[in-house]
Amino acid sequence: MGSGTVGRRAGRVSALRAVAFERGLDAWRVEAAELDQLQDVAAVFQGRTNGSVGTAVVLEPDEAIFLFLPRVHLAVVQGERRPTASAAGSLVADARRIAMYAPGTFAKPRGVRVVRSGTLTVTDRRIVFDSANRSDTWTFAQLSAIEHHADQPCSTLRLTATYDDASAPLALVYPPATAVQVRFHLTLASSRWDGTDDQLTAELDGALLAQWLTEPAEPSIESATTRPKRTRTAANSC
């Protein structure tokens, strides 16, 4: 292979590496910025009044709204399959997987049966689901756990008591694009209620530190002198 051909190949390889690096760096910057923003919100956000949000829920004295979504499904989890739980520190990475799972759609996750559609309001003490002919309220005291599915736009609510005489846990199904918003504010509201703010902050700190440590390295420049030589074998040495 002539030196000109080698040089052209080295130039193409370098250009491809540069493109891959820029794309990886852009994605890394977006994820780091999102984690940084979540960290800031977790430190200062104390909720809003219903007049500034749009929900019809009547708040109790000193109650604050952490999340309102105009379109959510309430579902019943079918079978004994436990979700692959998602920690607060992996919110952004999980959201990227979920967006690829169902980009731009209102997905129906596997293993759940949708029973109603309505609005979702999360305050610093309860979760309220309002549909056309019924309103359900679950206080955080009635929840033993909130489990966010790592690969689906769905969060399981594990209640300390049964719902409508059914033993199956409930789930909230939301648009994939809202996954970070829903999961983060559910987690934040719950942590405000039970006093585990420090644990949430530590998880986000750890996620941001891990993100900084994975900043893509700038690629090396391919040249004729750095291109690895092929080793001659007995088969091609004749």
**171-193 tens-digit pLDDT:** 999 988 888 889 889 999 998 99
Domain 48-194 has CATH 2.60.120.10: no
Question: Quick one: tokens of 94?
Answer: 């999980």
User: What's residue 81's pLDDT?
Assistant: 54
- pLDDT (0 to 100) of residue 68: 94
Separation between Cα atoms, residue 156 and residue 146, nearest integer Å: 6
Q: Which long-range contacts (CB under 8 A, 24 or more apart) does 67-70 make?
A: 67/120, 67/121, 67/122, 67/181, 67/182, 67/185, 67/186, 67/189, 68/119, 68/120, 68/121, 68/122, 69/119, 69/120, 69/174, 69/178, 69/181, 69/182, 70/119
Task: Quote the pTM value.
Answer: 0.74
Instruction: For residue 214, give every residue at least 6 positions away whose Cβ sits within 8 Å of its Cβ, in sequence order, or none.
Output: 28
CA distances from 162 to 133, 157, 165, 207 (A): 20, 11, 6, 35
Tokens of 27: 């994605």
Give the model's pLDDT for residue 102. Answer: 56
**Choice between 227 and 138, residue whose per-residue pLDDT is larger:** 138
pLDDT, tens digit (0-9, with 9 covering 90-100), for 80-107: 555 555 555 566 667 666 766 555 556 6
Query: Which pLDDT belongs to residue 238?
Result: 36
